[in-house]
Amino acid sequence: MSITALRVPAVVRQSHGLQRFMLLFGFALMAMFIVVAVFAPWIAPYDFDAVRDAEGVRFGTQQAPSAAHWFGTTVGGHDVLSRVVFGARTAVEVILLAVVLSSLVGVPLGLVSGYLGGWLDRTLVLVMDALYSFPSLLLAIVVSIVLTGGQSSAFGGILAAAVSITVVFVPQYYRVVRNATLAVKSEPYVDAARVAGVRTPRILGRHVFSNVSQSLPVIATLNASEAILTLAGLGFLGFGIEPSAAAEWGYDLNKALPDAASGIWWTGTFPGLAIVLIVLGVTLVGESLNDILNPLLRTRGGDENDADEVAELVADDVPVQEARATADGERVAVLSLRDLSVSFRTDGAPVRAVREIGFDVAPGEVVAVVGESGSGKSVSSRAVMGLLPDTATVEGSAVLTTPGDEPRELIGARASDLRSVRGDEVSMVFQEPSTALNPVRTIGWQIVEGIRAHRDVSVAEARKRAVELLEMVGMPDPAERVDHYPHQLSGGQKQRVVIAMAIACDPDVIIADEPTTALDVTVQASILELLLSLRDRLGTAIVLITHNMGVVADVADRVVVMYRGSIVEQAPVDRLFAAPAHAYTRALLDAVPHLGRENGPSPVVDSEVVLDVDRLVVDFPGGFGRPTFRAVDDVSLQVRRGEVLGLVGESGSGKSTIGRTTVGLQQPTSGSVSVSGQQVSGVSDAKLRPQRRKFGFVFQDPAASLNPRMSVGDCLAEPLRTQTDLAEREVRAKVRQLLDDVQLPGDYEGRFPHELSGGQRQRVSLARALALDPDLLIADEPTSALDVSVQARVLEVFRELQERLQFACLFISHDLAVVDSLANRVAVLQHGRLVEVGPRADVLGSPQEEYTQRLIGAVPVPDPVEQRRRRAERSASL
Amino acid sequence: MSSAEVLGQADLPSSGPPTSDSTPRRGRLNPLARYLLVRLALIIPMMWVLVTLVFVLMRVIGDPIQAAQGGRLQPDQIAERKAEAGLDRPLLTQYFEYLGGILRGDFGTTLTDNREVSDILVQNGAATLELTVYALIVAFAVGVPLGRLAARHRDRFPDVVLRLGAILVYAAPVFFVGLLLKLAFTPFGWPSSGRASTSTELALSRAEGETHIMLLDAILHGSPAMVLDVLQHAVLPAVALGLLTGGVFLRLVRVNLLQTLRADYVTAARARGVSEKRVVRKHAFRTALVPVVTVMGMQIAMLLAGAILTETTFEWKGIGYELSEYLVARDFLAVQGIVTLIALIVGVTSFLIDVIVALVDPRVRF
């Protein structure tokens, strides 16, 4: 509980309303009991086992409350008030001891077991799970019998009770800490520390424990309340503290039980109330802490850091002007937005996500809404559908005009009116098909539900229609698949189901929110094709929200560009790409890498081989009853000094596994990996440690690749402190120089990762990987979580450093255009096998293998003319 | 639809990424069978660990005879008692005999009244089962609808009251609630101890084909008065124990429902124009139940511990009541047997819970 005390002010500041009241009330109750416990001898009128007053006169048994005995006397002739007061002392002592003892045992066990894994972990999990599943009271009884030998002894006091309870709660600490350790262990920043050769105890302390420890106050308080209840239960069954040793509420309640039948209420009610109040206090604190600290239950303001970085790109002198909708064509818009604004209430200041935007969508038209993260493109479409959370305030107008109906205003419409529009006239396709489908219902059930929400048809008819729809979206075996659950389908198939639902009621408008972002390029191509063919056949208007300029060039008729909540430009697609009017649009288009038009470096010749991967095979065991999964299958490749090898492939092709194996984060099943002539694979961790200074690793997720509790300076210094004997002054100088290398100001040293934007974090990550001047750098999708303009900046920094430092680099990416812009050579991977490897211009320019051709053909380039040509070519060949 | 058919080939699972989450599983075993076998394989060692732990604690560290009689008997008398119970033999022999006994359903014999511990299961197990079932009914009836109510009115009046109520119920030990119920109801002559009136109990114990499940026996006996009597006796214990678990259910249902109500597929259902009522009932609720059922499995242990205290409070003659009697009598051979028995019950129920999870969650079944 001392941990809690330290964090109190911050926690109280984070709370509000009822939460704060509960927290403060809980603290007040806890404080009251602690005061009573400490000053018990002065507060209580008599000793806890006294039966006579100062004059030696007996109190008498079962006396009703009076001036001499405020709470009356017990069946044994004790003063109830005194016993309740001294009981508080017993309770507080036992809880403190139990919480301290059980965390002292449970926390280290959980840390070590979770981090090291192996047989130790499996054994501990088995034992702890067994203990956990067992009724805690029984366990405490058994331990208590063993400890006290079943007889009165000096040991039968507070310590014995505390130890009995400790055994019960060790598994809980263990489980929580182990699970948290497992979660933290797989975070990239822990991998980064391992790659830098940091030793296990330090990783456990600096990286794992500091991040796990925030859950401890919650566990400690919640366990404390259970500890009191267990202690009282033990006492109630006659197995707690010996009645002669201390006053204990549970024991008193047991003695009071027969009194209840004869209407003597005071003997049981007061000790019982004392238990309720102390448990209430501790629980309220624990619950509110949990509520406040649980990020899942919090409302937060948006992350504006990235927007700031993008702002660097846009010339400040260009005013962000509102571009009005241009009247293209005579058709009546089916959906028309005017002056739409959205703001969110947050724990901090309100956030304005969308500012007075307006655009029209005509029937049969594809309007692409593009912008980077935080530009408000998704929020505006959800506002139209009335799907924003309660914290949002929406102003302005969105008018839906469908044939045969009066124009309808959607903003501020009644819930029932809006409901009849949703899915019927306007429907949505979501970004992540695996979360947009209910996992416990069949896909048929979900399609039928959508149909029957709007059409008065029987289940059988709706089901027939569902099968038709599945067939229409190109689902194989629709009659059978209709009864499948989502997890039985592949990602692309799930997205087809989501689209089938969207077209179930022949909507006039489909809002597709990043419909292909979660999918591989070849699947993306087929999904886009499907959307276009539906538009052609059904005349549906499509609002396509995307950040991918290639997709825009491929399918859009008109483009709306959003930046920080406003529309900066809207134009027909050809004009936008040929002559962008706004500075932001120009910056955006410049930042997009263009596959086939990049002039990346030529192959490096005659330099020594740095990374040599020879016939590498990596298997993952499939678990009980499942086949082994071969992630990497007989892959050989080499990277030379000064060379960048782009390793490309779709998800699950094994490219990340190769990257992890080359730095010893994953052991190969067979084959070998060596760096600068030294074997890396199959080497013990201790032997590998001195080798680690030869390679660096940049991870994909900028949010997770830096330890949130370490400053930027500490992050950068860690590999230096681990691997070199540099003096502190030299370390600091090197850190400054690294920051300078990645073009960050020197005072960023003292900042914490959450104060940085995604792009800045990724630059710090790059600096950390280069801290030891490695021979080899592995970059695993270093920019795929970033917006294009931010990506351009990071890649620029990367290119400059690579040219200067001449390290060998294995650059892993799914983005062929990015690889095209910076790799000397390219290797293409499919299902763990190497399909093709060679100089960049050859592999990406004139691919020999059918798979590479298909992959390249599926990547949409940011050029509408080129995309139209390709599309025409494709339909001609069919 | 020829173009879509052609393009449809691109994302077939067979050619798609072979990761486990995006491909249909291609196990050699039926997934449900595999799941249940894995659960079973995990539960058997768990039960073994538990019974071994009980043995180690009670026999290796402690000594039941010494613990029970130490200080009251002379050392030679204790040695004699030990030899009688076979406790003077090598520990390993005793351990294997103990394990063998468990496999045969023999949990040892009590010291004080020479009763087979397995008889306690037969005679008193039904009472505990009955109480647990009643309590579960109360807990469900209270926890699930109120949890839903609290989630739907998050941070508004009903939610605040219900959450505070749930914490209060949790904070009150079950024997204190029992005591308050007794204080409140005995003045009205409401029965507050035992499973039935003495006359009913006598009549039922004489009846043919006794099931030991009092309610069932009373119904079989065909006397409405007796059924009513049995039900009346069950009310207070069931409420005391059921409220405790009901508070836990309420909080579980609330939190899980709040989380599933934020899920993408709930938004997707709203975007299809599904009514809000149906969204909560058909989409959020069922997925929210999966973790609830899992945690409920862990609650069985808590419920059993609660049953011990409740039975003692209401003189409800179940396994827990017997346990506390033997505890008072310091009969640790009986305690060891009963604790072992409960360990097995915990193991079996957690397996049953796994089966229920499989029925609720298709991701486990297929």
pLDDT at A590 > cutoff 70: yes
**Residues B281-297: b if buried by 16+ CB within 10 A, e if exposed:** ebbbbbbbbbbbbbebb
Residue in A260, A450, A629 nearest the CB of B18: A629
Residue in A135, A145, A265 nearest the CB of B302: A135
More confident residue, A16 or A358: A358
- What's the CA gap between A626 and A631, in Å, rounded? 15
- What's the CA gap between A342 and A361, in Å, rounded? 20
> Among the listed ranges A311-320, A384-393, A850-859, B312-321, which one has the minimum average pLDDT value?
A311-320
Residue B180: its chain A contacts at CB < 8 A?
269, 272
- What's the CA gap between A151 and A141, in Å, rounded? 13
**Pair A766, A702: CB distance under 8 Å:** no
pLDDT at A300 > cutoff 60: no
pLDDT digits (tens, 9 = 90+) for B3-43: 333 333 334 333 333 333 333 444 456 777 888 888 888 88
pLDDT at A316 > cutoff 50: no
Report percent pLDDT > 90 for chain A: 28
pLDDT of residue B16: 32
Among all residues of chain A, which has the CA nearest to that of B51?
Answer: A130
Any residues with CB less than 8 A from the CB of A191 and at least 6 apart, and which? Answer: A660, A665, A697, A699
> How many residues can be counted in chain A?
878
**Pair B151, B254: CB distance under 8 Å:** yes
Mutate to test the interface with A, among B63, B175, B289 (most CBs of A within 10 A): B175
Q: What are A569's strand-pairing partners?
A: A561
- What's the CA gap between A547 and A788, in Å, rounded? 8
> In 3D, which of A102, A99, A104 has the Cα closest to residue A4?
A99
pLDDT of residue A443: 92
> In 3D, which of B304, B365, B38, B40 has the Cα closest to residue A622?
B38
pLDDT digits (tens, 9 = 90+) for A732-741: 999 999 999 8
Q: What are A140's strand-pairing partners?
A: none
- Residue A30 at interface with chain B, using a CB cutoff of 8 Å: no
Give helix then strand counts, H and E, for chain A: 35, 20
> In 3D, which of A144, A155, A153 has the Cα closest to residue B58?
A144
- What's the CA gap between B22 and B165, in Å, rounded? 43
pLDDT digits (tens, 9 = 90+) for A783-819: 888 888 888 888 999 999 999 999 999 999 989 999 9
More confident residue, A427 or B46: A427
Interface of A with B in 448-477 (CB under 8 A): 449-450, 453-454, 471-476
**Pair B107, B340: CB distance under 8 Å:** yes
Strand pairing class (A695-698; A644-648)? unpaired
Given pLDDT bands bounded at 50, 70 and 90, which one contains residue A335?
very high
Residue A456: its chain B contacts at CB < 8 A?
none
- What's the CA gap between B55 and B63, in Å, rounded? 10
Q: Is A116 exposed, middle or buried (0-12, 13-18, 19+ CB in 10 A)?
A: middle
Given pLDDT bands bounded at 50, 70 and 90, which one contains residue A350?
confident
pLDDT digits (tens, 9 = 90+) for A625-648: 677 888 999 999 999 999 999 999
- What's the CA gap between A583 and A591, in Å, rounded? 12
Any residues with CB less than 8 A from the CB of A837 and at least 6 apart, and which? Answer: A637, A825, A826, A827, A828, A843
Interface of A with B in 814-843 (CB under 8 A): 831
**Residues A686-719: b if buried by 16+ CB within 10 A, e if exposed:** eebbebbbbbbbbbbbbbbbbbebbbbbbbbbbb
Sequence-ordered alpha helix ranges (H) in chain B: 2-7, 31-55, 64-69, 75-85, 91-104, 117-152, 157-171, 174-185, 198-206, 214-221, 224-261, 264-271, 276-278, 285-314, 319-328, 332-360, 362-365
Cα atoms found within 13 Å of the Cα of residue A338, Cβ hemisphere only: 7
3-state secondary structure of A620: strand
Q: What are A808's strand-pairing partners?
A: A776
Mean pLDDT calculated for residue range A230-256:
83
Smallest Cα distance from B245 to chain A, Å? 14
pLDDT of residue B194: 81
Given pLDDT bands bounded at 50, 70 and 90, which one contains residue A468?
very high
In degrees and rounded to multiples of 5, residue A348 shows phi and psi of -100, -140
Residue B171: its chain A contacts at CB < 8 A?
225, 275-277, 279-280, 283
**Per-residue DSSP letter, A52:** B
pLDDT at A74 > cutoff 70: yes
Mean pLDDT calculated for residue range A327-342:
76
Smallest Cα distance from A271 to chain B, Å? 9
- What's the CA gap between B58 and A145, in Å, rounded? 8
**Contact yes or no for B8 and A626 at CB 8 A:** no
pLDDT at A261 > cutoff 80: no
- Residue A845 at interface with chain B, using a CB cutoff of 8 Å: no
pLDDT of residue A156: 54
- What's the CA gap between A756 and A762, in Å, rounded? 9
End-to-end CA distance of chain B: 31
Task: Output the CA torsion A219→A224→A227→A228 (10° steps).
Answer: -150
pLDDT digits (tens, 9 = 90+) for A677-708: 888 888 887 788 888 888 889 988 877 888 88
Helices A266-293 and A17-38: crossing angle in degrees, nearest 10, is 130
pLDDT digits (tens, 9 = 90+) for A765-784: 999 999 988 999 999 988 88
pLDDT at A378 > cutoff 50: yes
CA distance readout (Å), A426 to A251, A592, B145, B150: 67, 32, 34, 32
Which residue in the block uniquely carries the two structure tokens 């809404």? A369
Residue B164: its chain A contacts at CB < 8 A?
22
- Residue A422 at interface with chain B, using a CB cutoff of 8 Å: yes
pLDDT of residue B69: 64
3-state secondary structure of A532: helix
pLDDT at A323 > cutoff 50: no
pLDDT at A574 > cutoff 90: yes
- What's the CA gap between A29 and B57, in Å, rounded? 37
Given pLDDT bands bounded at 50, 70 and 90, which one contains residue A374?
confident
**Pair B22, B16: CB distance under 8 Å:** yes
**Contact yes or no for A625 and B27 at CB 8 A:** yes
- What's the CA gap between B71 and B78, in Å, rounded? 10
Q: What is the mean pLDDT of each run of 10 residues along chain B (366 residues)?
A: 36 35 47 81 84 81 66 73 75 86 84 83 86 89 90 84 87 90 85 80 73 80 85 91 88 86 86 86 81 72 82 89 85 84 83 80 72
**Contact yes or no for A138 and B339 at CB 8 A:** yes
Interface of A with B in 625-684 (CB under 8 A): 625-627, 629, 650-653
Residue A488: its chain B contacts at CB < 8 A?
24, 366
Among all residues of chain B, which has the CA nearest to that of A829?
Answer: B17
Any residues with CB less than 8 A from the CB of A130 and at least 6 apart, and which? Answer: B46, B47, B49, B50, B53
Residue A150: its chain B contacts at CB < 8 A?
62, 67-68, 70, 330, 332
- Residue A485 at interface with chain B, using a CB cutoff of 8 Å: yes
Given pLDDT bands bounded at 50, 70 and 90, which one contains residue A11?
low
Among all residues of chain A, which has the CA nearest to that of B347?
Answer: A133
Among all residues of chain A, which has the CA nearest to that of B58?
Answer: A146
Among all residues of chain A, which has the CA nearest to that of B172?
Answer: A276
> Among the listed ranges A40-49, A457-466, A474-483, A578-587, which one has the minimum average pLDDT value?
A40-49
CA distance readout (Å), A16 to A291, A466, B259: 11, 48, 20
**Contact yes or no for A131 and B324 at CB 8 A:** no
**Contact yes or no for A236 and B309 at CB 8 A:** yes
More confident residue, A348 or A876: A876
- What's the CA gap between A871 and A755, in Å, rounded? 45
- pTM of full prediction above 0.80: no
pLDDT of residue A309: 46
Any residues with CB less than 8 A from the CB of A729 and at least 6 apart, and which? Answer: none
Among all residues of chain B, which has the CA nearest to that of A297?
Answer: B259
pLDDT of residue A192: 83
Cα atoms found within 13 Å of the Cα of residue B115, Cβ hemisphere only: 19
Smallest Cα distance from B28 to chain A, Å? 6
Residue B308: its chain A contacts at CB < 8 A?
135, 137-138, 237
- What's the CA gap between A501 and A447, in Å, rounded? 5
Which residue in the block uniquely carries the two structure tokens 């979580």? A785
Smallest Cα distance from B215 to chain A, Å? 25
**Per-residue DSSP letter, A756:** S
Residue in B160, B192, B362 nearest the CB of A440: B362
More confident residue, A553 or A150: A553
Given pLDDT bands bounded at 50, 70 and 90, which one contains residue A512?
very high
Most confident of A296-300, A308-312, A546-550: A546-550
3-state secondary structure of A793: helix
